[in-house]
Amino acid sequence: MNDQPRQTDPAIPTGNNESTELDLHDQVIYETPEPFEDIASGPRWFYLFSVVALVVGAFYLGRHMGNLDTEAHIGFLQAQKQQSGQGGAAAVKTVSGAAVFTSRCVSCHQANGQGIPGAFPPLVKSTYVLGDPQTLVRIVLQGLQGEIKVEGQAYNGLMPPWQDQLSDEETTAVINYIRTELGGNQAGQVDVELVQKIRAAEKDRQKPWTVPELEALEKS
Protein backbone atom coordinates (compact mmCIF):
# COMPACT_ATOMS: atom_id res chain seq x y z
CA MET A 1 0.00 0.00 0.00
CA ASN A 2 1.38 3.38 -1.10
CA ASP A 3 1.42 5.88 1.67
CA GLN A 4 2.63 8.84 -0.52
CA PRO A 5 0.17 11.67 -0.93
CA ARG A 6 -1.68 11.82 -4.23
CA GLN A 7 -0.79 14.71 -6.53
CA THR A 8 -3.66 16.89 -7.46
CA ASP A 9 -4.49 17.64 -11.15
CA PRO A 10 -3.87 21.16 -12.54
CA ALA A 11 -6.69 23.53 -12.03
CA ILE A 12 -9.10 23.89 -14.92
CA PRO A 13 -9.90 27.50 -15.89
CA THR A 14 -13.20 28.51 -14.65
CA GLY A 15 -15.80 30.62 -16.30
CA ASN A 16 -14.44 33.68 -14.61
CA ASN A 17 -11.12 33.39 -16.52
CA GLU A 18 -12.95 33.08 -19.88
CA SER A 19 -14.90 36.19 -19.10
CA THR A 20 -11.70 38.07 -18.34
CA GLU A 21 -10.14 37.16 -21.77
CA LEU A 22 -13.22 38.33 -23.64
CA ASP A 23 -13.13 41.61 -21.80
CA LEU A 24 -9.52 42.13 -22.82
CA HIS A 25 -10.37 41.28 -26.43
CA ASP A 26 -13.24 43.78 -26.46
CA GLN A 27 -11.00 46.41 -24.97
CA VAL A 28 -8.47 45.98 -27.77
CA ILE A 29 -11.22 46.29 -30.37
CA TYR A 30 -12.53 49.49 -28.81
CA GLU A 31 -9.07 51.00 -28.81
CA THR A 32 -8.84 50.68 -32.67
CA PRO A 33 -10.15 53.84 -34.38
CA GLU A 34 -13.20 53.19 -36.49
CA PRO A 35 -13.15 54.28 -40.19
CA PHE A 36 -14.96 57.42 -41.28
CA GLU A 37 -15.88 59.10 -44.56
CA ASP A 38 -14.24 62.33 -45.65
CA ILE A 39 -13.44 64.31 -48.83
CA ALA A 40 -9.73 64.62 -49.49
CA SER A 41 -8.92 67.95 -51.11
CA GLY A 42 -6.37 68.05 -53.96
CA PRO A 43 -3.30 70.23 -54.10
CA ARG A 44 -3.95 73.93 -54.25
CA TRP A 45 -1.64 74.47 -57.22
CA PHE A 46 -3.93 72.25 -59.34
CA TYR A 47 -6.99 74.38 -58.60
CA LEU A 48 -5.05 77.55 -59.27
CA PHE A 49 -3.81 76.20 -62.60
CA SER A 50 -7.36 75.18 -63.63
CA VAL A 51 -8.73 78.66 -62.90
CA VAL A 52 -5.92 80.34 -64.86
CA ALA A 53 -6.45 77.96 -67.82
CA LEU A 54 -10.17 78.70 -67.92
CA VAL A 55 -9.58 82.45 -67.85
CA VAL A 56 -6.95 82.33 -70.60
CA GLY A 57 -9.08 79.98 -72.75
CA ALA A 58 -12.15 82.19 -72.43
CA PHE A 59 -10.11 85.25 -73.38
CA TYR A 60 -8.62 83.52 -76.42
CA LEU A 61 -11.98 82.26 -77.71
CA GLY A 62 -13.58 85.64 -77.20
CA ARG A 63 -10.82 87.32 -79.19
CA HIS A 64 -10.43 84.89 -82.08
CA MET A 65 -13.68 82.92 -82.44
CA GLY A 66 -15.63 85.73 -84.07
CA ASN A 67 -19.32 86.45 -83.95
CA LEU A 68 -21.90 83.74 -84.42
CA ASP A 69 -23.66 85.47 -87.31
CA THR A 70 -23.50 85.67 -91.10
CA GLU A 71 -20.88 88.41 -91.22
CA ALA A 72 -18.12 85.84 -91.41
CA HIS A 73 -19.64 84.49 -94.64
CA ILE A 74 -20.37 87.78 -96.41
CA GLY A 75 -17.49 87.33 -98.86
CA PHE A 76 -18.61 83.85 -99.80
CA LEU A 77 -22.25 84.88 -100.15
CA GLN A 78 -21.31 87.83 -102.36
CA ALA A 79 -19.14 85.64 -104.58
CA GLN A 80 -21.91 83.07 -104.87
CA LYS A 81 -24.38 85.78 -105.84
CA GLN A 82 -22.03 87.12 -108.52
CA GLN A 83 -21.59 83.64 -109.99
CA SER A 84 -25.32 83.05 -110.16
CA GLY A 85 -25.73 86.40 -111.90
CA GLN A 86 -23.09 85.67 -114.52
CA GLY A 87 -24.92 82.60 -115.78
CA GLY A 88 -23.08 80.16 -118.04
CA ALA A 89 -19.69 81.86 -117.89
CA ALA A 90 -19.48 81.46 -114.12
CA ALA A 91 -20.60 77.85 -114.33
CA VAL A 92 -17.80 77.05 -116.79
CA LYS A 93 -15.22 78.42 -114.37
CA THR A 94 -16.26 75.89 -111.78
CA VAL A 95 -15.41 73.00 -114.15
CA SER A 96 -11.77 71.99 -114.60
CA GLY A 97 -11.01 71.39 -118.25
CA ALA A 98 -7.76 69.66 -117.27
CA ALA A 99 -9.70 67.25 -115.05
CA VAL A 100 -12.15 66.42 -117.85
CA PHE A 101 -9.26 65.92 -120.27
CA THR A 102 -7.50 63.59 -117.82
CA SER A 103 -10.57 61.44 -117.26
CA ARG A 104 -11.82 61.34 -120.87
CA CYS A 105 -9.00 62.03 -123.35
CA VAL A 106 -5.61 61.06 -121.90
CA SER A 107 -5.89 57.36 -122.71
CA CYS A 108 -5.84 58.14 -126.46
CA HIS A 109 -4.25 61.57 -126.90
CA GLN A 110 -1.83 61.28 -123.93
CA ALA A 111 -1.25 63.79 -121.16
CA ASN A 112 0.99 65.98 -123.34
CA GLY A 113 -1.50 65.99 -126.21
CA GLN A 114 0.92 64.35 -128.63
CA GLY A 115 -1.26 61.30 -129.22
CA ILE A 116 0.09 57.91 -130.34
CA PRO A 117 1.76 57.82 -133.78
CA GLY A 118 -0.25 55.80 -136.26
CA ALA A 119 -3.16 55.35 -133.87
CA PHE A 120 -4.40 58.60 -132.32
CA PRO A 121 -3.61 62.04 -133.78
CA PRO A 122 -1.93 64.78 -131.72
CA LEU A 123 -3.94 67.71 -130.45
CA VAL A 124 -0.95 70.06 -130.21
CA LYS A 125 -0.52 72.38 -133.23
CA SER A 126 -3.41 70.67 -135.01
CA THR A 127 -5.40 72.87 -137.39
CA TYR A 128 -8.54 70.96 -136.38
CA VAL A 129 -7.94 72.17 -132.82
CA LEU A 130 -6.60 75.68 -133.37
CA GLY A 131 -8.77 76.59 -136.36
CA ASP A 132 -12.52 77.20 -136.47
CA PRO A 133 -13.78 76.49 -132.93
CA GLN A 134 -17.02 75.05 -134.30
CA THR A 135 -15.04 72.19 -135.85
CA LEU A 136 -13.62 71.08 -132.52
CA VAL A 137 -16.99 71.48 -130.82
CA ARG A 138 -18.62 69.21 -133.39
CA ILE A 139 -15.84 66.62 -133.08
CA VAL A 140 -16.12 66.52 -129.29
CA LEU A 141 -19.93 66.35 -129.31
CA GLN A 142 -20.62 63.99 -132.22
CA GLY A 143 -17.25 62.28 -132.72
CA LEU A 144 -15.07 61.75 -135.81
CA GLN A 145 -14.51 58.82 -138.15
CA GLY A 146 -12.53 58.09 -141.28
CA GLU A 147 -9.17 59.33 -142.49
CA ILE A 148 -7.63 62.50 -141.09
CA LYS A 149 -4.17 64.00 -141.66
CA VAL A 150 -2.41 65.86 -138.86
CA GLU A 151 1.12 67.22 -139.22
CA GLY A 152 1.53 65.27 -142.45
CA GLN A 153 0.64 61.88 -140.94
CA ALA A 154 -2.54 60.02 -141.81
CA TYR A 155 -4.80 58.47 -139.21
CA ASN A 156 -7.87 56.34 -139.76
CA GLY A 157 -9.89 55.56 -136.71
CA LEU A 158 -12.98 56.42 -134.74
CA MET A 159 -13.39 59.02 -132.01
CA PRO A 160 -16.55 58.37 -130.00
CA PRO A 161 -19.09 61.12 -129.40
CA TRP A 162 -19.21 62.70 -125.96
CA GLN A 163 -22.48 64.62 -126.18
CA ASP A 164 -24.26 62.12 -123.92
CA GLN A 165 -21.46 61.98 -121.34
CA LEU A 166 -20.37 65.63 -121.06
CA SER A 167 -22.51 68.60 -120.11
CA ASP A 168 -22.28 71.93 -121.94
CA GLU A 169 -20.03 73.28 -119.20
CA GLU A 170 -17.71 70.26 -119.25
CA THR A 171 -17.52 70.33 -123.04
CA THR A 172 -16.66 74.03 -123.04
CA ALA A 173 -14.06 73.59 -120.30
CA VAL A 174 -12.21 70.72 -121.97
CA ILE A 175 -12.23 72.46 -125.37
CA ASN A 176 -10.80 75.63 -123.84
CA TYR A 177 -8.14 73.60 -122.06
CA ILE A 178 -7.13 71.91 -125.32
CA ARG A 179 -7.10 75.16 -127.31
CA THR A 180 -5.41 77.45 -124.78
CA GLU A 181 -3.25 75.33 -122.45
CA LEU A 182 -2.48 71.84 -123.72
CA GLY A 183 1.05 71.55 -125.09
CA GLY A 184 1.46 75.29 -125.47
CA ASN A 185 -1.58 75.73 -127.73
CA GLN A 186 -2.69 79.34 -128.00
CA ALA A 187 -6.11 79.87 -129.53
CA GLY A 188 -9.23 81.76 -128.61
CA GLN A 189 -11.59 80.46 -125.97
CA VAL A 190 -15.01 79.02 -126.72
CA ASP A 191 -18.20 80.25 -125.06
CA VAL A 192 -20.70 77.83 -123.59
CA GLU A 193 -23.35 79.44 -125.78
CA LEU A 194 -21.56 78.10 -128.90
CA VAL A 195 -21.57 74.58 -127.46
CA GLN A 196 -25.26 74.86 -126.62
CA LYS A 197 -26.04 76.17 -130.11
CA ILE A 198 -24.23 73.35 -131.93
CA ARG A 199 -25.63 70.71 -129.60
CA ALA A 200 -29.17 71.90 -130.31
CA ALA A 201 -28.56 72.18 -134.06
CA GLU A 202 -27.08 68.67 -134.35
CA LYS A 203 -29.27 66.90 -131.78
CA ASP A 204 -30.66 64.52 -134.41
CA ARG A 205 -27.28 63.47 -135.82
CA GLN A 206 -26.63 59.79 -135.16
CA LYS A 207 -23.17 59.23 -136.66
CA PRO A 208 -19.73 60.83 -136.21
CA TRP A 209 -18.43 63.53 -138.52
CA THR A 210 -15.99 62.98 -141.37
CA VAL A 211 -13.24 65.35 -142.47
CA PRO A 212 -14.98 66.20 -145.80
CA GLU A 213 -18.16 67.11 -143.91
CA LEU A 214 -16.31 69.36 -141.48
CA GLU A 215 -14.37 71.06 -144.28
CA ALA A 216 -17.62 71.71 -146.16
CA LEU A 217 -19.14 73.33 -143.08
CA GLU A 218 -16.10 75.57 -142.64
CA LYS A 219 -16.44 76.82 -146.21
CA SER A 220 -20.16 77.43 -145.97
Residue type (1 letter), 55: V
Rounded to whole angstroms, the Cα distance separating 72 from 13 reads: 96
Dump the DSSP string for 63-119.
HHS--SSGGGGHHHHHHHHHHHHHTHHHHHHTS-HHHHHHHHTHHHH-TTS--BTTT
What integer best gives the mean pLDDT of the chain? 80
Could you tell me which of 136, 148, 138, 129 has the C-alpha nearest to residue 187? 129
User: Can you give the pTM of this predicted structure?
Assistant: 0.59
**pLDDT computed for residue 66 by the predictor:** 54
Q: What is the pLDDT of residues 121-138, one digit of tens each?
A: 999 999 999 999 999 999
Domain boundaries, the chain: 89-219
Residue type (1 letter), 117: P
pLDDT band at 1 (very low <50, low <70, confident <90, very high): very low
**pLDDT computed for residue 45 by the predictor:** 83
89-219 in CATH: which number? 1.10.760.10
Other Cβ atoms less than 10 A from the Cβ of 215: the count is 13
